[in-house]
Structure 1
């Protein structure tokens, strides 16, 4: 498929009236003030030597907890319709924790920015474990508490962020918190997160909330060749990273062969998991090229994969890459969205792109502008082909704590000096601001 990134110097196509433009962040990556909340699994993980590449932690991060007024002003200056942030479950469990989000939501509303909270973005309270079924019930209780406090002003909700990555990186491979290296024994983590989503949807609706979705990460899976072994490996990878997290939500069932590996009364649980949602969030970064196992391990997004896995991840050749080494493939977003439409049909609710972005250094970040421009055009192309997409959120507002990479990767539209915490809008901030103004003219 030919690459068509467009020309950042030409106007972007017009999106429909009411299309939701926003940016995204997450609590653990920007808030800091770790001593003013209960610990999470990420606090425990980053305290272990060697877990984060630069040895850093998110104890201060961007200090958004104390500087949120400055960040709301940046959002207002950018001109976004909405701000997707996450709520720290450990902070809500701490005295006065909900007061912070109460203030933040008030400030967003006063600035004309719609608050879109995500209830779980990987920072599980340290005393909980997704291997335990009870964590799903605890999550629903927490969701009800948050909705009871914020639901009079929050009109759009996200339950979970990227349960696939949290399962794979945090529990199967051990490179994210909590650091489990369980491989396929991590599958209960996936099931319990999906169950938590379904229970939370019910709890949110009982509290009067509406407009509820989830933020799942997805990308096309490209076989390394048409050889049977490569095709089989790619199909398995697609099941584990894409279909295992979409089909229980949209179809009420796991892909063939997966349900038998899950704990509990799976049939009864799936009725809860498939509680209807109002929209489906997709985080997109790149396709993955997959082949049969190789003698040596390969990499997934810069993460070493063990050789004993039944697939290997191969390089997508001939593409520019970000500073993270991820290939830049805008047309993969078009392929993904039209593929979802074709696979799930009327069972697919309206889609929102809840994350899309890239890591590049520098204030004059022309590569980021080209990346975002190409992906917005690819998104519009999918919409002209009949995919119902209602919004697009850039990852991320701020340079932040990038999990196991520490502060080495910069995804922000706004540069953060991690010594002084000074915020400096980049060229991409001005570009996105101008895009939004043009869309409203």
Structure 2
């Protein structure tokens, strides 16, 4: 096993720092049609030809549904004190609404109970991209009924599990699922168009605030947050055109959801498209419904984005200059490895001044792991985690209240449109046999967290 001399110690992060590992139902559970679960938009999307690399499907994934006890033991053995997972909405409500599915409800009780038995704090994400397919037939996140559906689901989960679970995340990366799923169609449900995107954005922004209010009202001593994908946006040059492209990109990637949550409304002043939508929909003028005072904000960062002006790209007039083109260090996904960009985006969010605490709710890297003699020497991933944790520590020392860090992810899994090609796990999974093999990066975390 490859070892590293740690540039920091566990105690440098503080006694109350939350060390966790994260995963998601649609990417790990499998058992897509067992025990009464209804189909999700990802089950249906994966059947469409050419949408998922290798024609992969999430039907079995990591089989966490049947192997959760062993997998939670592995998370515990690696030293993690918190386990972030999501609830599959269609496992609870197969039709999205109506009568709850007893077997699905019972499954999450078992996962929660096992976490508590192992002295790991369960962090439950209400929505991690897997909308029930039945609701998508009615318009999904573009439907004006969406918030009614979501509120009922959130209320059920809060009352059902709130006596045992005190740490909650409302939405996972709303920009990710609205842009990729409803604007460009790369992710489920595969819709396209500006109107679909803007409707989905508004309903997601409403859901993150109303979900917070529901959790607050139903659960005593709840610790509530929501998560945002984020990237430092860097103009390719000092030209005014590239700077304008970077400004619009930053609005979409980093400001679109946090600013209404903080009571600032949508960042329409620098983006005419949002001004146009406000004129069409008077509900956008009422910022109170979009605001909620979260206990923490989850930041999910993997890489910075370098953009340049591109008049042929609608709306933002910007295109990304890939890391491979710029010949800078990058992961197997082509994402730039840049811990300084990670530090800068943490600092950017903290500057709002209204965020109480930050948790890094996802951070990690995919590399082309090789199994050799039953081991995986993934030194590149170790270097990635080490440099990014140094960035967290730098931010903390400067007074930024970063309260926790969650590695993405426990196991190699179904990585959305990438199928099973992109491996982010601390644990390698042989998807033919479901054999788990701890990578050197997993042992690295164990050595850090159990020192």
Q: TM-score, normalised by structure 1?
A: 0.92
Q: In structure 2, what is the equivalent of residue 232 of structure 1?
A: 244
Q: In structure 2, what is the equivalent of residue 430 of structure 1?
A: 443
Runs (4+) of structure 1 exceeding 6 A deviation are: none
Q: Is the 8 A contact 1:222 1:288 kept in 2?
A: yes
Q: In structure 1, what is the equivalent of residue 334 of structure 2?
A: 325
1:412 and 1:312 map into 2 onto residues whose CA distance is 30
* Shift of residue 204, structure 1, vs aligned partner: 1.1
1:426 and 1:273 map into 2 onto residues whose CA distance is 42
Which of residues 273, 278, 300 in structure 2 aligns to 1:283?
Answer: 300
* Shift of residue 112, structure 1, vs aligned partner: 0.6
Q: Is the 8 A contact 2:142 2:196 kept in 1?
A: no
Q: In structure 2, what is the equivalent of residue 191 of structure 1?
A: 202
Which of residues 76, 101, 110 in structure 1 aligns to 2:108?
Answer: 101
1:276-298 CA deviation, whole Å, 9 max, x = no partner? 11101100111100111166xxx
Distance 1:187 1:410, change over 3 A: same
Q: For structure 1, which segment, 250-259 or 164-173, has the greater mean C-alpha deviation from structure 2 after superposition?
A: 250-259
Q: Is the 8 A contact 1:252 1:273 kept in 2?
A: no
Q: In structure 2, what is the equivalent of residue 124 of structure 1?
A: 131
1:152-187 CA deviation, whole Å, 9 max, x = no partner? 111100000001111111111111000012146511
Distance 1:127 1:223, change over 3 A: same
Q: Secondary structure at the match of 1:331?
A: helix
* Shift of residue 8, structure 1, vs aligned partner: 4.3
Q: Secondary structure at the match of 2:257?
A: helix
Q: For structure 1, which segment, 368-377 or 240-249, has the greater mean C-alpha deviation from structure 2 after superposition?
A: 240-249
Q: Secondary structure at the match of 1:54?
A: helix
Q: In structure 2, what is the equivalent of residue 373 of structure 1?
A: 386
2:197 and 2:16 map into 1 onto residues whose CA distance is 40
Which of residues 7, 12, 16 in structure 2 aligns to 1:11?
Answer: 7
Q: How many residues align?
A: 419
Q: Is the 8 A contact 1:282 1:354 kept in 2?
A: yes
1:197 and 1:185 map into 2 onto residues whose CA distance is 18
1:346-384 CA deviation, whole Å, 9 max, x = no partner? x12200000000001231111100000000001111111
1:137 and 1:259 map into 2 onto residues whose CA distance is 26
Q: Does structure 1 residue 68 correspond to structure 2 residue 81?
A: no
1:413 and 1:321 map into 2 onto residues whose CA distance is 18
1:107 and 1:354 map into 2 onto residues whose CA distance is 21
Q: In structure 2, what is the equivalent of residue 23 of structure 1?
A: 21
Which of residues 236, 242, 265 in structure 1 aligns to 2:283?
Answer: 265
Q: In structure 1, what is the equivalent of residue 322 of structure 2?
A: 315
Q: Is the 8 A contact 2:248 2:316 kept in 1?
A: no
1:195-232 CA deviation, whole Å, 9 max, x = no partner? 01111111112212511000111111000111111111
* Shift of residue 136, structure 1, vs aligned partner: 1.6
Q: In structure 1, what is the equivalent of residue 97 of structure 2?
A: none
Q: For structure 1, which segment, 359-368 or 114-123, has the greater mean C-alpha deviation from structure 2 after superposition?
A: 359-368
Q: In structure 1, what is the equivalent of residue 373 of structure 2?
A: none
* Shift of residue 118, structure 1, vs aligned partner: 0.4
Q: TM-score, normalised by structure 2?
A: 0.90
1:266 and 1:89 map into 2 onto residues whose CA distance is 27
Q: Secondary structure at the match of 2:447?
A: helix
Q: Secondary structure at the match of 1:35?
A: coil
Q: Is the 8 A contact 1:8 1:373 kept in 2?
A: no
Could you tell me which runs of 5 or more consecutive residues in structure 1 were left unpaired when the two chains were aligned: 1-6, 296-305
* Shift of residue 341, structure 1, vs aligned partner: 2.1
Q: Is the 8 A contact 2:162 2:219 kept in 1?
A: yes
* Shift of residue 10, structure 1, vs aligned partner: 3.0
1:378-403 CA deviation, whole Å, 9 max, x = no partner? 11111111111000000000100000
1:77-106 CA deviation, whole Å, 9 max, x = no partner? 112110010100000114221110000000
* Shift of residue 150, structure 1, vs aligned partner: 0.9
Distance 1:204 1:307, change over 3 A: closer
Distance 1:264 1:138, change over 3 A: farther
Q: Is the 8 A contact 1:141 1:203 kept in 2?
A: no
Q: Secondary structure at the match of 2:377?
A: coil
* Shift of residue 194, structure 1, vs aligned partner: 1.0
1:253 and 1:260 map into 2 onto residues whose CA distance is 14
Q: In structure 1, what is the equivalent of residue 33 of structure 2?
A: 35
1:326 and 1:137 map into 2 onto residues whose CA distance is 37
